[in-house]
Amino acid sequence: MNILRRSLPAILFVVCMARCGWTQDPAPAAAPKEEKPADPFAGVQPDNPGQTTSQSGWVKRFFSNNFTLKKELYFQLTTGYKVEADPPLYSRQSAGFELLKKFSTHTATIGAFDLQSRLVRRDNYITVLNDLEGADRKGFNLEYHNAYLDLYNIFNPLLSDSSRSRNLGRFNWRTGRFYLPFGLNLQTDTHGTLLQLSNEQNFGFERDWYSGLYGSLTRSINYDVYYLLGSGYRPQFRGQSGLLGARVSLGNRFLTERGLEGGISVMSGERLSNPSMQAEFPGKGEESDASTIVRTFRIGIDERFTHLLWGGTASFVTELSGGQDKPDAVFTQLHQVVFTSRSRKWGWAGQYRHFWMDSQKLPGKTDSSLIGEITLYSQNDVAASKLRWIKFSMERQLERREGETAWLFTVQYYYYW
C-alpha cells in the first residue's frame, strides 16, 4: 500500500501527459505540394490569329505539307557508224523538275498531283530509242512529261464505314498525261533512261492524255480502265474517236513475295499517227487530216521476274503484243535482262526488240535491234528519290524498215535529286 501511495503521483502524471498527447511523436510534416510543370507554349500566339485562311497561309501550307520538288539534269551524246554515211554527233542537254503534291485529311490521303517538265536543247538529231519524240524538235524546247491528278477511293462519300474498309484502294481516278495502260510501262518509270519499253514504237507515243479508273480487284489482281485521247504529246482532236485501254495485272503481293510482275492489256479505237516515229504515212501536209487517223487494235501480255543473286539483283522482262493498224498487221516483241550489283554502284543490261508491220507503204517490214548497256552509279537510292549515273550504250540495228542499219554509241549523264 505504501508503495502504491508513493507511486500514485507519478502514475497520475503519466496519465495526464498521455491525455494531452505529450508523449506522442510529433505529427509528420505535410508533404510539399507538387508544382505543375510550366506550360512550354504559354504565351505563344499564332503568327496571324484569326487569319488562318488567308492567301499567305494557304500558300505556305501548300508548299510545306506533303509537297516534294525534285530537280533533274541530263546530258547525252550519240554517234555511230552507217553503211552509207556516218551520222552526226547528236547531243541533248536538259534541266528540269518534278513536282509532287499530295492532298490529305487528318485520317487519309485523298489525292495527288504530279507534274514533270524540262527545258531541252537538241542538236543534229538522229533516231534514238529514248528520244523518238524529238524528231520534229530543234534547238530549245520546253517539254512536259507527267501531268496528272489522282483521286483516291472516290466512292467513299457514298459508302458506309464498313463498305469503305472493304473497298479500300479499289476505286481510284486518274486524269492527265501518263504512261499508256499497256504493258509494263505503268509499273516502270523509264523517264531519263536509255533502254525503253515497246510502247513508243508500237503506238507512236508512250504517254497520252486520258481519264479512268484503277485499283485492286482483289489482293492478287489489279486493274486499269481508261479512255485515251489518242493524240500523243499534244492534246488535240482531229477527227479521231480516241482509244479504250484496259489492263489486268498481278497484285503487289506477287512482287513482294515472289518477285513477279505481269499482266494482260488491250487497246482499241482510233489514234493519230506520228509519221516521224512510225512512217505510217507520208510527211505532214501531203495527205488530208483524216488520213492520219489510225484504227488500232492491240492485245499484249508481259512479265518481269526479279531474283536476288549472290552478287546482286537480276530482272528478266518480256513484252509481246499483236494486232492491227488497219489494214496492216502488227506484231512486237521485247526481251530484256538487267543486273544491278549488291552495292548498287554498277549494273549492266541487254535488250532485244523486234517490231514487224505488214505495210505496203514501206520497203521493209521489220525494225529490230540488239542493245547492250553498262551503268556506273554514284547515287542509286532504292526508292529512286536520288539517282546519279553515267551510262554507256551500244545498239546494233539488225533490220530497218527504212534506211540502212547502223551501229549507235551513246554516253549519258543523269542526275535526279
Alpha carbon of 336 to those of 198, 245, 259: distances in Å? 11, 24, 16
H helices present in 167-318, as ranges:
199-203, 252-258, 275-278
201 pLDDT more than 60: yes
Find how far residue 145's CA is from the centre of its chain.
12
Is 287 among the domain residues?
A: yes
Q: Is 7 left (phi over 0), alpha (psi -120 to 50) or beta?
A: alpha
pLDDT band for position 248 (cuts 50, 70, 90)? very high
pLDDT band for position 30 (cuts 50, 70, 90)? low
Question: What is the percent of the chain where pLDDT is above 90?
Answer: 68
pLDDT band for position 20 (cuts 50, 70, 90)? very low
Is 37 among the domain residues?
A: no
Region 89-107 average pLDDT: 94
Is 364 among the domain residues?
A: yes
Q: How far apart are the first and last CA of the chain?
A: 109
- As a 3-state breakdown, the chain gives helix, strand, coil percent values, each rounded to 5, of 15, 50, 35
For the whole model, what pTM was predicted?
Answer: 0.81
Is 366 among the domain residues?
A: yes
Is 57 among the domain residues?
A: no
Region 36-54 average pLDDT: 56
Looking at residue 11, its pLDDT comes to 52
Strands (E), 276-344: 293-309, 312-325, 328-341
The C-alpha angle with vertex 297 and arms to 294 and 303, in degrees rounded to 5, equals 130
- What is the domain-level CATH number for residue 85? 2.40.160.10
Please give the Cα distance from 225 to 221 (Å, whole number).
Answer: 13
pLDDT band for position 240 (cuts 50, 70, 90)? very high
pLDDT in tens, 283-316: 333 344 445 899 999 999 999 999 999 899 999 9
Is 227 among the domain residues?
A: yes
**Is 255 within 8 Å of 261 (Cβ atoms)?**
yes
Give bridge partners of residue 5 from the DSSP assignment.
Answer: none
Structural domain that includes position 221: 74-416
Please give the Cα distance from 206 to 125 (Å, whole number).
Answer: 19
Looking at residue 290, its pLDDT comes to 46
Q: Please report which helix (H) or strand (E) contains residue 76, including its range.
A: strand 67-82
- Main-chain phi, psi angles of 84, to 5 degrees: -80, -45
Is 58 among the domain residues?
A: no
Is 19 among the domain residues?
A: no
Alpha carbon of 261 to those of 67, 317, 393: distances in Å? 30, 9, 26
Residues in contact with 123: Cβ distance below 8 Å, sequence separation at least 6, in sequence order: 90, 91, 139
Total structural domains in the chain?
A: 1
Q: Which of 44-58, 243-257, 316-330, 336-350 has the lowest mean pLDDT?
A: 44-58
